[in-house]
Structure 1
Amino acid sequence: MFDFRLQVFHTVAKRLNFTKAAEELYITQPAVTKHIRQIEAHYKVKLFDRQGSKISLTPAGHSLFEYAEQIFAIYRNLEFEMNNFAQSHRGLLRIGASTTVAQYLLPPILASFHDKFKDIRLSLTTGNTEQIERLLQNQEIDLGVIEGHSKQTLFKYTEFIKDELLLIARTGHPKAKKGIISKEELLETSLLLREPGSGTLEVIAHALKPLGIKLGQLKKEMQLGSTESIKRYLMNSNAMAFLSVFTVLKELENKEFSVIEMDELNIERHFFFIQPHGQGDSLSDLFMKFALHYNLR
């Protein structure tokens, strides 16, 4: 329904790469360039700065990107609502989610979903990533939501939302005032880590690998099975922990926790919906679409 040129711009702006945008849109790179030039000619502004093979958004490009995001969100919501008029939804949807997702992301979505679809009964089971995958494989749940993309080939993965893991300490921590540590200091710092099988632990290990750091080299003070346990422990110790930004928003706002930066370390991950291949379920698909439209920010 929407202008394809705007979709081309939006894709280039997200990827900041004409080649990747062309591959994602299944068109040629010259076609991508042509669409961008047509938009620039229409508005008489420059949308991208080009420096060699790298591109970045101009102020006008940033503004257009923000409006494009809003426009596409409206179209997605419109399509979702129109489809709902044509269908009747009822039954039981069993969801399994890893701890961070279950505690901090899903509750408001579940409440809003229940309010809109009162004939659908919901159940939520919590576990770490390995446990949720096992439940899905054993058909004990219909839909999983996990941290990171595991090596399982049994499931179809659908990207949910991006997350960032931050190195967190209590605000009174000796290193909180400086707010930055070196690689050597990290190796000397007592850390709280999640239990084996946790998706968070796997993501941390993957992010530290390019820095030449293995999990076994970290000074592990304790492994705890929940984010809330880690947060309460941090309040009363000089340990640090890598925690999802979604889990510490309140504490950061209340200045109870501080973020400790480290050069060359940026830990990002995605939360994924997972379903068995070839076993589409209308209620699962409905919930995924609803969650993807929900504003978590």
Structure 2
Amino acid sequence: LFCRIVDRGSFSLAADELHITQPAASQQVRSLERELGTVLLDRSRRAVTPTDAGQVLYRYAREIVDLHDRLRTEIADLGELLAGEVVVGASTGPGEHVLPGLLTAFKREHPGVRVALHVDDTHAVVERVLAREFELGAVGAVSPRPDLVAEPLARDEIVLVCSPGHPWASREWVTLEELAAEPHIVQQHGAGVRTVVEDHLRRAGLPPERLNVVLEMGLMESAKQAAIAGGGVTFLSRWAIGPELRHGALVAVPVQGLRILRDFYVVRSRTRVLSKAAEALLDFFREHYAAARAPEG
């Protein structure tokens, strides 16, 4: 409970996740503070933060949680039969377009393993991996963090698209200056596509702040539907728009001097010992990525 409160910066969020009431969570922390004879959490700010004593407790408590997880994993792995459950988190790109096929293929090879997939935005997936809610995560953009391990999962291209009725639908290409002025649909902050696109635009000499943003539409699907409806141009993953491009609901528009390739990544906590089932799934991802890239070498 104490680790979850520190991780979330909130009594109420931690209590909700552990299925207890907020007063019960507060009472448990007050009892711990009485036992140790010191204040462990600073409650004076909007986000709850650990005091110096709380930082010490958090460090040791996290080690205890890690040891407990390792104990359960090693005992569960004593059996030779690969079984159990793997909880995977994913951002919308890999979660809706890459993982369903991969997880189905993995399940055929390992019928005794149950896989649960949860879709969220990239930032939330990473945080929930580090909070040990997910054994593995799949995301479209990763910021370097010392407690996170990232490996490539699948190759993707992010393309600019518009509706077939848009003036750009018949263009061979557009310039960065034209892109800056055109009404633009973006995904919410924390979305992997937005992060990658903004990074590439900066490197191409176009600060994202110059874009003429007219709609902010959450994640991939809402941005796609807004573009189909004629709300503006937007950047989307090719994985997400194959049917729309084939059937003419969207048109890909090349941008002069800009090509955005990225890898989707599988991420895990550096300090967590993976279950045998999660290790098998990670190996399966590695083999699939190597096989998919082999012709390029």
Q: Which residue in the other structure is 1:286 paired with?
A: 280
Q: 8 Å contact 1:179–1:258 — kept in the other structure?
A: no
Structure 1 contact 105–296 (Cα < 8 Å) conserved: no
Residue 260 of structure 2: aligned partner: 267
In the alignment, structure 1 segments of 5+ residues that lack a partner are 1-85
The DSSP-based 3-state class of the residue aligned with 1:196 is coil
How far 1:238 moved relative to its partner? 4.8
Q: Normalised by the size of structure 2, how large is the TM-score? A: 0.67
- Asked if the contact 2:84/2:112 (under 8 Å) is kept, the reply is yes
Question: What are the residue-to-residue correspondences of 1:198-209 with 2, within 5 Å?
Answer: 198-209=191-202
The answer for the alignment partner of 1:92 in structure 2 is 85
Identity %: 22
* 8 Å Cα contact 2:130-2:268 kept in structure 1: no
Q: Are the equivalent residues in 2 in contact too, given 1:191–1:220 (CA < 8 A)?
A: yes
Deviations 1:224-269 (A, max 9, x none): 1221111211111151110001011111111221111111101111
> Residue 176 in 1 paired to residue 169 in 2?
yes
Amino acid at match of 1:184: E
Shift of 1:89: 0.6
Query: Paired residue for 1:20?
Result: none
* Alpha-carbon distance between aligned partners in 2 of 1:172 and 1:291, rounded to the nearest angstrom: 39
Corresponding residue number in structure 2 for 1:80: none
* Alignment-mate amino acid for residue 110 of structure 1: L
Unaligned runs of 5+ in 2: 1-78
Paired positions, count: 212
Give the whole-Å Cα distance in 2 for the aligned partners of 1:133 and 1:210. Answer: 25
- Which of 106, 117, 123 aligns to 1:113? It is 106
Q: Which residue of 1 aligns with 2:189?
A: 196
**Cα deviation, residue 190, structure 1:** 0.9
> Structure 1 residue 138: deviation in Å?
1.1
Tell me if 1:125 matches 2:142: no
CA RMSD across the alignment: 1.9
Counterparts of residues 23-62 of structure 1 (less than 5 Å): none
| Matching residue within 206, 217, 233 for 1:240 | 233
1:88 positional shift: 2.4
Report the counterpart of residue 210 of structure 1 in structure 2: 203
How far 1:178 sits from its partner (Å)?
1.4
CA distance in 1, matches of 2:130, 2:272: 11
CA displacement, residues 77-101 of structure 1 (integer Å, 9 cap, x when unaligned): xxxxxxxxx9521111000001111
Q: Residue 264 of structure 1 aligns to a residue in which SS?
A: coil
Structure 1 residues 158 and 234 mapped into 2: Cα distance closer, same or farther (>3 Å)? same
Q: Verify the 8 A CA contact 2:165 2:230 in the aligned structure 1.
A: no
TM-superposed CA distance for 1:108, in Å, is 1.5
The whole-number CA distance in structure 2 between the counterparts of 1:154 and 1:278 is 7
Paired AA for residue 182 in structure 1: T
Structure-to-structure mapping, 1:130-145, within 5 angstroms? 130-145=123-138
- Residue 137 of structure 1: how far off its partner (Å): 1.3
How far is the alpha carbon of 1:211 from its aligned partner? 2.3
Contact 1:99 1:127 in 2 (8 A): yes
Q: TM-score, normalised by structure 1?
A: 0.67
1:144-181 deviation digits (Å, cap 9, x = unpaired): 11112213221111111111100011122111111311
Distance 1:183 1:113 in 2: 42
Indicate yes or no: 2:160 matched with 1:167: yes
The residue type paired with residue 210 of structure 2 is Q
Give me the whole-angstrom Cα distance separating, in 1, the residues matched to 2:205 and 2:292. 35
Q: Name the CA distance, whole Å, in 1 between partners of 2:80 and 2:249.
A: 47
Look up the equivalent residue of 2:252 and give its one-letter code. Answer: V
Q: Which amino acid aligns with 2:129?
A: L
Q: Give the 3 Å change call, closer, same or farther, for CA 208–125 of structure 1 in structure 2.
A: same
Higher strand share: 1
